[in-house]
Structure 1
Amino acid sequence: MIAAPPGVRVWLSGGITDMRCGMNSLLLRVQEGMGRNPHEGDLFVFRGRRGHLVKILWADRLGVSLYAKRLEQGRFIWPSAADGTVEITAAQLAYLLDGIDWRRPKRTWKTEALPTIRSVG
């Protein structure tokens, strides 16, 4: 799990990306395709055609990092190319990386109703 700094912005590149792309190709895609500056400290996430692999590009003040995650089962939930670039929160990114639908996460438990207190008198 990537520990994202507080206030970081996370951008999903809608559609599919060629997962043979390396750091420099993805930096160029951020600048030209997404119209963003990759050196502002934001996270940029890309998904491959089969949907089981994502790459995350992160440029901090020291350099550029490229992370990859592959799901052994299932696929990452992803916006279409028509949606363009989608901004999500760091919490939604955590859901996405765990293979959970980040658009509508569901609780695995239900709260129980508290008993009603009746006054005696």
Structure 2
Amino acid sequence: MIALPPATRVWLACGPTDMRKGMCGLAVMAQEVMKHNPHSGAVFVFRGRRGDLIKLLWYDGQGLCLFSKRIDRGKFVWPIGQIGVAHLSAAQLSMLLEGIDWRHPERTWQPALAG
């Protein structure tokens, strides 16, 4: 993944998206459905109905970039039954791209009890 600037905002389109859409179609969705400027520098994330393909739209300062990833096994974790937009942190986006449940990450260690 290309390193994003630290203050980059990440917007996730909660409903399923027609994955036949390309850069222009997704930019229109970002603007009209998600109500955000696709040239703002934010990352817009879209998932298809089957759940194994996502597309990311990002304006890097010179032009729009379109990234896609198809996961080999399983599905990308997505908000269920929601319509609209969700805001993710850069860490949550990294987990999403790795196929990790970004909504409920669990630590592998427990903090020591003060006592």
Distance in 2 of aligned mates of 1:111 and 1:83: 35
Number of aligned positions between the proteins: 114
Gaps of 5+ in 2: none
Which residue matches 2:109? 110
Distance in 2 of aligned mates of 1:74 and 1:28: 29
Compared CA separation, residues 111 and 41, structure 1 to 2 (3 A): same
Structure 1 residues 1-121: aligned runs within 5 Å: 1-80=1-80, 82-107=82-107, 109-111=108-110, 113=112
Q: Could you tell me whether the CA contact under 8 Å between 1:46 and 1:56 is conserved in 2?
A: yes
Greater displacement, 71-80 / 38-47: 71-80
Question: Could you tell me which amino acid in structure 2 is paired with residue 29 of structure 1?
Answer: M
Distance in 2 of aligned mates of 1:41 and 1:31: 13
Q: Could you tell me whether the CA contact under 8 Å between 1:19 and 1:48 is conserved in 2?
A: yes
RMSD: 1.7
The 3-state SS of whatever aligns with 1:2 is coil
Greater displacement, 75-84 / 2-11: 75-84
Tell me how far 1:83 sits from its aligned partner: 4.0
Report the identity percentage. Answer: 54
More helix by share: 1
Gaps of 5+ in 1: 117-121
Q: Greater CA radius of gyration, 1 or 2?
A: 1
Runs of 4+ in 1 over 6 A off after TM superposition: none
Distance in 2 of aligned mates of 1:26 and 1:88: 18
Compared CA separation, residues 106 and 112, structure 1 to 2 (3 A): closer
Q: Could you tell me whether the CA contact under 8 Å between 1:57 and 1:65 is conserved in 2?
A: yes
